[in-house]
Structure 1
Amino acid sequence: MKKMLLLGAAFAALTLGLPAHAELKFKPGEDSKFHWANYDDLKKVDLKGETLTIFGPWRGEDETLVRSVLDYFQEATGAEVKYSSSENYEQQIVIDTQAGSPPNIAVLPQPGLIQDLASKGVLTPLGDDVAAWIKENYAAGDSWAKLGTYNGKDGKAGFYAFPYKIDVKGLVWYSPDNFDEAGYKVPKTQEELADLEKKIVADGGKPWCIGLGSGGATGWPATDWVEDIMLRTQPPEVYDKWTKNEIPFTDPAVVNAIDIFGKIATDDKMVDGGAKAVAATDFRDSPKGLFTV
C-alpha cells in the first residue's frame, strides 16, 4: 500500500485493530440519510489479507467517531485497519519516517511538517487526479488543493495531503447572559476588545480562559492566537507575506501580534487561573472557565 499523509487535526502511542466484523452504525443500503453508491463501489475492491495502518490524533469520542467511519472501509474491502495515536505526534511521525516504518496514512495538522517530510522524499504523492477531485468537490477546492501541494525531494510539486475533518478555529466564545448582566457590548474591533478587557479586569473579572497544554505539542494554540491577531491588526497582504516567509518573525507586524498575545497570557489579571495556568491547562479543558467563573 502507498505511504501517504492527510491533513487533519492533532497524542504514549496506542495501537488498536478494528474488529473483523464491526457493528456498523448505519446499515448500508437501508438508511435513506446516506448515498450508498460509493460504499457499493468500495465493495468491488478486494483487500482481504491486507493491513492498513493509520496514525492519527484522535482519542476518546473523536476516536470512536473516526472508527465508526473506518468500520465501513474494513467491512467493504475486507482489509484489516490498525489505528494508532501518540501524544507526541509531531516527533513520532518524524521518528517513524526516519526509521523507515511510517504508517500508510498519517493525519497531521501541520502543513509545515508535511512540507518537510515531502522534501525528504518519505511521502508518496496522491496524484493529480485526487487533487482534481478536491477542486471539483470542495467549495474552496483550489485553496485546499494548494494547501495539500508540496515540493518533493526532486523539487517537483506534488499533491500529498487530502483534507479531512476540518475544524473551525479563531472564534471567541462568551456568555451572552453574563454580558447582559454586566452591561458589556460585543467588541467589533481589536481596539474595542482591548477596552473590554480593561473593563472586565476593573470589574474584578478575568477576560480570558487560555489553555496551551497538549502533551509534547504544548504551545500550539498560541500560534493560532498570533495568527488571528495578525489578521486583525494587519492587512491581509501582510499576513499572506508572513505565511510565505516573505517577512520574518522579527518583522514589526509579527512582533506586535506576539506582544499583544504575550501581554494577555502572562498577566495574572487577564487569565483564568493566572499566568501559570496557561501552559498547564490542556487546551481541551480551557473553555470550562466559561461555565465556572
Structure 2
Amino acid sequence: MKKMLLLGAAFATLALSLPAQAELKFKPGEDPRFNWQNYEDLKKVDLKGETLTIFGPWRGEDEGLVRTVLEYFQEATGVEIKYSSSENYEQQIVIDTQAGSPPNIAVLPQPGLIQDLASKGLLTPLGDDTAKWVKDNYGAGQSWVDLGAFKDKDGKPGFFAFPYKADVKSLVWYSPDNFEEAGYKVPKTQEELAELEKKIIADGGKPWCIGLGSGGATGWPATDWVEDIMLRTQTPDVYDKWVKNEIPFNDPAVVNAIDIFGKIATDDKMVDGGAKAVAATDFRDSPKGL
C-alpha cells in the first residue's frame, strides 16, 4: 500500500521545461513599470547548458503566470528551467528529498516543513551573504532573516529560506450589499460578532462560509483560524511559546482556541452547507456561499 501511495504521488507531479525561445509577455526595456536593469544584470550571468529545477505549489492558471516570470530569467541567462508541481506538494517534496532527487529550488509556505527538512540535512544553506542582503533590503530586516533561519542535522544554525512573498490573513470577507439589505452592521468586537451570528441565523441565513479542502493538504485553513483565535484570546508571548513548541497542543490556551473554532465549524446552523461541507468544500470555492 505504501508503494502504491508513493507512486501515485510521484505520478501526480508535473515536470515541464520552459520553451527554449519563449515569447516574452513584455518586451524588455519597453514598459516603464518594470525595473529592466535587473534583467540587464542577469544577462551577465551565463548559465547556458545548465538546468534549473524548481518545485512549487502553483498549478493551473497560477502556474501559467509563474512560467511567464521564469521565462525572463531563462531568456537572460540561457539556463533551461524545469518547473514541477503536485496537488500534494507538501508530501511530494518530502518524498523527493528523502529519495535523493530534490529540486534546486523549492517554494514552500510552511516554515515548519522547511525546519524539519533542514534538521534532517536535506537542505543547502543559502549563506551569510544572502541573509545579509535580506536584512539590508527588507523593511523588517532581521525578523525576515529569522523566519528563514534553522538548525541543520548537526545543530548548526543556517539561513535556508529566502522569504519573497507574504499574504495578508486574518480578514473576514462579507458582502456590503447583503449587509445593507439585511440591515446588519459590521461588528467591531468579538461580542458584537457573536450577536451578528445569532441575527443571521434567526433570519434564516448561515453566518460563515468555510472550506478546508485542499487535496492532500486538506485542513490547513483550520490552522489559520486557530492561529488567529490564539492571537485574540492570548497574549503574544503565549503565542510565541506555541510557535516554538514550548507549550504543547493540549495546553489549555490552544485547546480553547480549537474549541472556539470547532463550535463554529461543527454547527450546521453556523456554516453554509452544514458541518459536513466544511472539509468537503475546497478552500478556493468557499467564497461562493457569499
Shorter-chain TM-score range: over 0.9
TM-score, normalised with respect to structure 2: 0.94
Q: What residue number does 2:159 align with? A: 159
Q: Does 1:128 align with 2:128?
A: yes
Cα distance, 1:141 vs. partner?
2.4
- For 1:141, give the aligned amino acid: G
Query: SS of the counterpart of 1:55?
Result: strand
- For 1:112, give the aligned amino acid: G
Distance 1:47 1:34 in 2: 23
Q: What residue number does 1:103 align with? A: 103
Q: What residue number does 1:254 align with? A: 254
Distance 1:253 1:198 in 2: 26
- For 1:247, give the aligned amino acid: I
Distance 2:89 2:289 in 1: 27
Q: What residue number does 2:54 align with? A: 54
Matches within 5 A, 1:66-85: 66-85=66-85
Query: SS of the counterpart of 1:113?
Result: helix
Distance 2:205 2:78 in 1: 57
Q: What residue number does 1:214 align with? A: 214
Distance 2:236 2:188 in 1: 17
Once the two structures are overlaid, the 10-residue window that deviates more, 179-188 or 64-73, is: 179-188
Cα distance, 1:202 vs. partner?
1.3
Q: What residue number does 2:235 align with? A: 235
Gaps of 5+ in 2: 1-11
Identity of aligned residues (%): 86
- Contact 1:213–1:282 under 8 Å retained in 2: yes
Q: What residue number does 1:24 align with? A: 24
Q: What residue number does 2:3 align with? A: none
Q: Deviations over 1:13-51 (max 9, x none)?
A: 111110101111111122211222221111111111111
Cα distance, 1:67 vs. partner?
0.8
Cα distance, 1:61 vs. partner?
2.1
Cα distance, 1:271 vs. partner?
0.6
Cα distance, 1:165 vs. partner?
3.0
Gaps of 5+ in 1: 1-11
Distance 1:234 1:194 in 2: 19
Cα distance, 1:86 vs. partner?
0.7
Distance 2:184 2:255 in 1: 30
Query: SS of the counterpart of 2:162?
Result: strand
TM-score, normalised with respect to structure 1: 0.93
Q: Deviations over 1:171-198 (max 9, x none)?
A: 1000111112222121122222122112
Q: Deviations over 1:118-156 (max 9, x none)?
A: 011110001111111111222222221110010011211
